[in-house]
Structure 1
């Protein structure tokens, strides 16, 4: 009984230590998510405005530009996966990787070669463990994104998009990230950045309305060339902020669940320890009574 009681007490101490760690991580994530939500909300209007402007120009200007023209045959596609650098956040990274695999299967079924760009150590570890190739990777700071990183990612994928496919370029750019819905819900989302497919936030004019007129200075190609990197950088940065907020929310939820499980373990092992202690006391009392009875002379 004594050895069993020691085991129970040791497990109680282990669960209490685990609870301290998970509770601290839960509080840290809860404090950081407020700032992440504020940054995400601050960047959203600019990202929507840039997307709206680019979509309107692409739809109503009727110009032939790489930004607005769908290629006759698409043979290569770039997929940017946004995961986390650290774990302990539930299915945050695995859901993105799963969605990326489904997207890759769809693209391959259409006869397209997939080129991967990875953001976060989890995606790098996933590809390295399976010895799968990828073009470039960015690690560090996924929970606190910086615009410089978004610009670097944007420059890399835009350079591939503008490059001829015969020389290693791509015809499409897709991003896969966790979209922040609420503190409870974060959903993996796939967005095709280029070529533009639909007008985001721009309604088509009715029959009695005229199409918007645009004047370009110095010329159309120069304006669209300038809009292309701005559009890509803003969308990628917004996706990074969405992913960061989702990561903190997922980690907070996972750590709360871990703390609750630790409480359950502590309660269960405490009950078992009390039962073992009571059994030990009962056995000791029985031994004492038995010994006392043995010392009593028989009549």
Structure 2
């Protein structure tokens, strides 16, 4: 049985750890409120933007604009969004697993895969594959729209130059404080989001006349649409990271309390054994004196 001092030192160490995890939980909770508010306020904008693109692209040919060009896919670029920091449970691991599984599926079908990572955790994992084209680190803590434009520009340049024929994004979507799931979406080429029949059915409720020509509008909106999609993914990951960290730190604090309870019981047993041993020494000494 360990000594009293050893057990007491362990109890004090676990108590300090519990204080740290509780503080991190409170910080993550405060950050989550801001991140969740930004994400939820941006979701309607992203949805309305997608509806506009759906209406505009419904009657256009894929070859009308370079970013809508559908090619024979030989090279797929996967953009993986993770956090820069850890201590958020299995959040990053789930995104990396989903991206790695997607990578292996493309490779099994004979396609070449290259990777772009946003966030340190994804960069650290995928750097060893030798397929990392570029990475964007140290931005997930305080990203802005210009960061999304920079990422979007890099992806677009690779697609237009023929370096990639298809671009997929993998990120963690925020469902609730307790649920954040990896999401996979095809980013490029941009395709009409509804079929001709669905578009015809919706047009019965009202038609829009665009000025100037829809092709000219799309030429301007397509890059903006990519910026919005990238920024939306970053907002989802930002909120999901804080929610996952808050949950992980809450679980860690509870685990510390359980450890303190178990160590306290062990301490009491060790103290009782020490007291019993001292009493036996006293009784033994008294008996020896009597003899």
Partner of 1:48: 47
Deviations 1:92-114 (A, max 9, x none): 11111111111112222333221
Partner of 2:200: 205
Whole-angstrom distance in 2 between the partners of 1:279 and 1:158? 72
Partner of 1:115: 114
1:124-143 pair list within 5 angstroms: 124-128=123-127, 130=128, 132-143=130-141
Whole-angstrom distance in 2 between the partners of 1:208 and 1:262? 60
Which runs of 5 or more residues in structure 2 are unaligned? Answer: none
Whole-angstrom distance in 2 between the partners of 1:211 and 1:59? 15
Partner of 1:268: 262
Compute the displacement of 1:194 (Å): 1.8
Please point out which of 234, 242, 258 is paired with 1:240.
234
Whole-angstrom distance in 1 between the partners of 2:157 and 2:277? 79
Whole-angstrom distance in 2 between the partners of 1:39 and 1:172? 29
Which runs of 5 or more residues in structure 1 are unaligned? Answer: none
Residues 127/62 of structure 1: CA separation in 2 closer, same or farther (3 Å cut):
closer
> Would the aligned equivalents of 1:118 and 1:124 in 2 still touch at CA under 8 Å?
yes
Please point out which of 258, 271, 275 is paired with 1:281.
275
Partner of 1:223: 217
Partner of 1:149: 147
> Would the aligned equivalents of 2:57 and 2:191 in 1 still touch at CA under 8 Å?
no
> Would the aligned equivalents of 2:58 and 2:195 in 1 still touch at CA under 8 Å?
no
1:135-214 pair list within 5 angstroms: 135-163=133-161, 165=162, 169-197=163-191, 199=193, 203-206=198-201, 209=204, 212=207, 214=209
| 1:60 match: secondary structure | coil
Q: Which runs of 4+ in 1 moved over 4 A?
A: 200-203, 210-214
Deviations 1:13-53 (A, max 9, x none): 11111111111111100111010000001111111111111
Partner of 2:65: 65
Whole-angstrom distance in 2 between the partners of 1:277 and 1:121? 48
Partner of 1:16: 15
Whole-angstrom distance in 2 between the partners of 1:146 and 1:208? 36
| 2:138 match: secondary structure | coil
Whole-angstrom distance in 1 between the partners of 2:66 and 2:255? 54
Whole-angstrom distance in 1 between the partners of 2:179 and 2:202? 41
Compute the displacement of 1:66 (Å): 2.8
| 1:135 match: secondary structure | strand
Taking structure 1 as the reference length, what is the TM-score of the superposition?
Answer: 0.89
Deviations 1:147-173 (A, max 9, x none): 11111001111111222x2xxx21211
Whole-angstrom distance in 2 between the partners of 1:195 and 1:212? 26
Compute the displacement of 1:246 (Å): 0.5
Partner of 2:286: 292
Report how many residues are paired. 289
